[in-house]
Chains A and B, each alone.
Chain A
């Protein structure tokens, strides 16, 4: 049914223009000379210079990166375990509660998650800072990881693992040598998802962060509440660039591995 009518072409063009034009404008105007963001006054890269010498942004970026790396890694481990529990562990007491706790954070309004975690941290007397942000981010992103991994586990052929067990592997060995390599792509995309969720989060971080730790979104938030600023445009351009390069190269890599796998399978069939 390949019949692209003028209507399809128009809606695709307008749709993608709507999705990309705002970001394009942001990028273009980040090279604007003028302090007034909406008035073009000539090409300049001075806002990038000011951004890169601004200590507070660099500090915030460093905090954000550390939080994202640690929380996404713990979340990947916990989320993969949770996925194994959901798909493999069979029945146990409190299973319904468990799957409820996995799915609920996905749809929970951020203000509620943030508020409840903050009240917990205050209740147990934990000082708010990098550690509390990591705990908060790990908790909600592990649920996303477990959804991604469990959808892969559902289609996983269990007989492969059983074969490994029959051949004398311990259950942990069978998991490490057979299951993990097969589900690895979904574990990696789960990690990437957790990492970006953590980089991106404003609401939960602003509840969980204390005065000692400011993440980049919190920093950006406090300066854009008042209006647009050319420095933020420069920062946005850098972030959009990183994401674009990351996503495009990841999709190229996965395409290459897919092609290689297909070639290997074909070769195996021929042999």
Chain B
């Protein structure tokens, strides 16, 4: 009895506020846009009995919104460019994050808790504020341009804000802790004598790094990359604040489709496809985590 309550309370909560909302998104993505409140048809109508209502509902469903998505260039481009921006940012985050995680793993034992805390601390600070901070740095009259103009590296201010470059910087900056922590965890577990053995056997330090350190931190690299890539694909705040008119990301399209155009059926269809695209990396990520847990256990 107690066990049943323990299971049912969180179960019902998640069913009601996670699964049912999804079913609604799916339903509306199959409905038609209509100038009414709420702005779609068909509505649930059970006045002719429950079964008839369900039958009518299904009869009115079609894939029109999904066909619309394939016909309009905007959506294709937005999906592809989201994937592209997420991929580039993930690689950049890896390039920035790996040396930091590596340095942390080689730092004296008594420094490590402090270094860990310094990596985690930004994660507790507001995401919005951390993105906003870059607006002041990257704008035409911002701090970066002031410094670069001051030391004479450039003759006229660079345009970085409102371009994709600013979006890359924003993603790398905000998601960096997600990359550093799993890589650091993997490097921390590594047995240092392996590197010594490689060097004794004639490896240079660089080739020992490529042949020993990188393969042994593979799980950390994979986990970190997924942790950056998956949320970056659907990112809304960063492209909206730092990106410009050239920046096309699907999270932003969905938000605008819903709030500005009030086209709920198309917004729902955009969400359904985005989810289908993300299922692949999410499943791969879960598999990697599972494998890691098994090899640890």
User: By the criterion CB–CB under 8 Å, are B135 and A228 in contact?
Assistant: yes
Which of chain A's residues has its CB closest to B7's CB?
A85
User: By the criterion CB–CB under 8 Å, are A78 and B25 in contact?
Assistant: no
Of A2, A22, A98, A217, the residue contacting B128 (CB under 8 A) is A217
- Interface residue stretch chosen among A46-54, A55-63, A235-243: A235-243
Residues of A within 8 A of B255 (CB): 111, 203
From DSSP, what is the main secondary structure of chain A's interface residues? helix
User: By the criterion CB–CB under 8 Å, are B38 and A122 in contact?
Assistant: yes
Residues of B within 8 A of A247 (CB): 117, 120-121, 124
Of A11, A25, A84, the residue contacting B136 (CB under 8 A) is A25
Known A-B contacts A119-B28, A199-B126, A221-B128; A94 and B18 likewise in contact (beta carbons under 8 Å): no
User: By the criterion CB–CB under 8 Å, are B125 and A110 in contact?
Assistant: no
User: By the criterion CB–CB under 8 Å, are A78 and B9 in contact?
Assistant: yes
User: By the criterion CB–CB under 8 Å, are A94 and B10 in contact?
Assistant: no
Give the distance in Å from the alpha carbon of A202 to the alpha carbon of B118 in the complex: 24
Residues of B within 8 A of A5 (CB): 106
Residues of B within 8 A of A108 (CB): 275
A271 within 8 A of B: no
Which of chain B's residues has its CB closest to A81's CB?
B10
B149 within 8 A of A: no
Give the distance in Å from the alpha carbon of A230 to the alpha carbon of B292 in the complex: 47
Give the distance in Å from the alpha carbon of A22 to the alpha carbon of B254 in the complex: 29
Which of chain A's residues has its CB closest to B190's CB?
A1
- Interface residue stretch chosen among A13-21, A161-169, A178-186: A13-21
Of B38, B117, B133, the residue contacting A23 (CB under 8 A) is B133
User: By the criterion CB–CB under 8 Å, are B128 and A116 in contact?
Assistant: no
Residues of A within 8 A of B11 (CB): 85, 94, 98
Task: Scan residues 16-40 of chain A and give those whose CB is less than 8 A from a CB of chain B.
Answer: 16, 18-20, 22-23, 25-26, 29, 37-39
User: By the criterion CB–CB under 8 Å, are B18 and A101 in contact?
Assistant: yes
Binary interface encoding of chain A residues 211-252 relative to chain B, with 1 for a CB under 8 A from any of its CBs, else 0: 000000100110011011000110010011001101110010
User: By the criterion CB–CB under 8 Å, are A23 and B125 in contact?
Assistant: yes
Which of chain A's residues has its CB closest to B19's CB?
A101
A117 within 8 A of B: yes
Instruction: For residue A4, give the distance in angstroms from its CB to the closest CB of chain B.
Output: 6
- The total of Cβ contacts below 8 Å across the A-B interface reads 229
Residues of A within 8 A of B14 (CB): 82, 98, 101-102, 139
Task: Scan residues 59-85 of chain B and give those whose CB is less than 8 A from a CB of chain A.
Answer: none
Q: Which of B18, B233, B275, B278 has the most CB of A within 10 A?
A: B18
Residues of B within 8 A of A19 (CB): 118-119, 122, 173, 176
The interface size of chain B toward A, counting residues with CB under 8 Å, comes to 85
Of A78, A117, A123, A196, the residue contacting B10 (CB under 8 A) is A78
Give the distance in Å from the alpha carbon of A115 to the alpha carbon of B270 in the complex: 11
Task: Scan residues 239-297 of chain B and give those whose CB is less than 8 A from a CB of chain A.
Answer: 240-241, 251, 254-255, 258, 264, 267-268, 271, 274-275, 278, 282, 285-286
Residues of A within 8 A of B115 (CB): 12
Give the distance in Å from the alpha carbon of A25 to the alpha carbon of B147 in the complex: 13
The interface size of chain A toward B, counting residues with CB under 8 Å, comes to 84
A89 within 8 A of B: yes
Of B107, B176, B195, the residue contacting A12 (CB under 8 A) is B107
Give the distance in Å from the alpha carbon of A109 to the alpha carbon of B278 in the complex: 9
User: By the criterion CB–CB under 8 Å, are B135 and A227 in contact?
Assistant: yes
- Interface residue stretch chosen among B49-57, B137-145, B217-225: B137-145
29 contacts between A and B (CB under 8 A): A12-B115, A15-B103, A16-B100, A18-B176, A20-B118, A22-B137, A23-B133, A38-B139, A38-B146, A78-B9, A78-B10, A78-B13, A79-B10, A85-B10, A89-B6, A98-B14, A101-B18, A107-B230, A107-B231, A111-B234, A111-B251, A112-B274, A119-B24, A119-B25, A120-B20, A220-B128, A228-B135, A240-B129, A243-B124
Spell out A's residues near B (CB within 8 Å): 1-5, 7-9, 11-12, 15-16, 18-20, 22-23, 25-26, 29, 37-39, 78-79, 81-82, 84-85, 89, 92, 94, 97-98, 101-105, 107-112, 115-117, 119-120, 122-123, 135-136, 138-139, 142, 146, 171-172, 196, 199-200, 202-203, 217, 220-221, 224-225, 227-228, 232-233, 236, 239-240, 243-244, 246-248, 251, 255
